Structure 1
Amino acid sequence: MSTPSTPAYGPVEYAVIAFPGNRFTGEIATELTKLTSQGIVRVIDITFIKRDADGATEIVELEDLDDFESGPFADVDGEVTGLLSQEDLEQVAEEIPPNSSAAIIVWEDVWATALSQALRRADGILVAHERIPAAVVEQSVAAARAA
């Protein structure tokens, strides 16, 4: 009798995006929809944090938003699994400035799944993996071009 195999995953990442003044436009949902529909990423979890001017926080899961607030995310393909724990979310909430909201998005880099599988089959060991922020790359390129 065969046992079910563990599904293969590519690298999983997360981002916390703050919106000062609670000005969330939903524009990121459009880009997430494009990325998921093209099979580049798979959304694993989306959670929102709202912090009022006095610093009181409210943690809201995507499925708990009203239709108006969740509408931009209706076409985002993924499985919202609740991967983030309450402790994780409370820790993130402490970092959100007052009178701001934030989206916490966890995604799988689907494009890298086959590469991850190949590395495992080759007994490869990932020694380091870092994400370089776009602003750092842009500054470095601008400095190199100016030199």
Structure 2
Amino acid sequence: MEYLVVAFPGSRFTGAIAPALADAVASKAVRILDLTFVYRAEDGTLDMVELEDLDPDDLVSFEPVEGVVSGLLNSEDIRALGESVPRGSSAALIVWEDLWAVPLTEAVRASGGRLVAHERIPADVAEAAVAASGSAD
């Protein structure tokens, strides 16, 4: 499972990310586990925005996981993540499961293996590496 916080300066959430997220869900690459919206006022206060308060055309439909998924982000986690959102901005917090990884995980477990490290390379580092490798040709 992974999470992503996307801030929209000036609270200009237009829903432009919805089609890309919908494509990822439709292709069964990911399953959305949670989708939360927050708004951080100019004075720093943080409010959670209910899905019902947003334009349904800007949203991605998803089916919540059946049963209870424990250990995911709670209101304290959301509040802490919200502190990274610039004042006067809104943010979408998306928690998903990488469905493409499920067969790999099962194969690792079946072979007696175990995960010893997993880290995401920051986007700016990855982009710089790709740019550098392209310019070296």
Task: Report % sequence identity.
Answer: 48
Match of 1:130 among 95, 98, 119: 119
Match of 1:79 in 2: 64
Matched, 1:27 2:12: no
Q: Is the 8 A contact 1:29 1:76 kept in 2?
A: no
Match of 2:34 in 1: 45
Deviation at 1:116, TM superposition (A): 0.7
Matched, 1:139 2:128: yes
Q: Is the 8 A contact 1:46 1:61 kept in 2?
A: no
Q: Distance in 1 between matches of 2:83 and 2:54?
A: 27
Q: Distance in 2 between matches of 1:17 and 1:32?
A: 12
- TM-score in terms of structure 2 length: 0.85
State the AA in 1 paired with 2:87: P
Question: Which stretches in structure 1 are left out of the alignment for 5+ residues?
Answer: 1-11
Q: Is the 8 A contact 1:14 1:106 kept in 2?
A: yes
Q: Tell me the number of residue pairs that the alignment of Structure 1 and Structure 2 aligns.
A: 132
Secondary structure of the residue that 1:55 maps to in structure 2? Answer: coil
Q: Deviations over 1:40-76 (max 9, x none)?
A: 10000010110122222101243xx3252x4322x53
State the AA in 1 paired with 2:53: D
Q: Distance in 2 between matches of 1:107 and 1:129?
A: 16
User: What is the alpha-carbon root mean square deviation over aligned residues?
Assistant: 1.9
Higher mean C-alpha deviation, range 136-145 or range 25-34: 136-145
Matched, 1:55 2:44: yes
Secondary structure of the residue that 2:12 maps to in structure 1? Answer: coil
Q: Deviations over 1:4-38 (max 9, x none)?
A: xxxxxxxx100111111111111111111111111
State the AA in 2 paired with 1:57: L
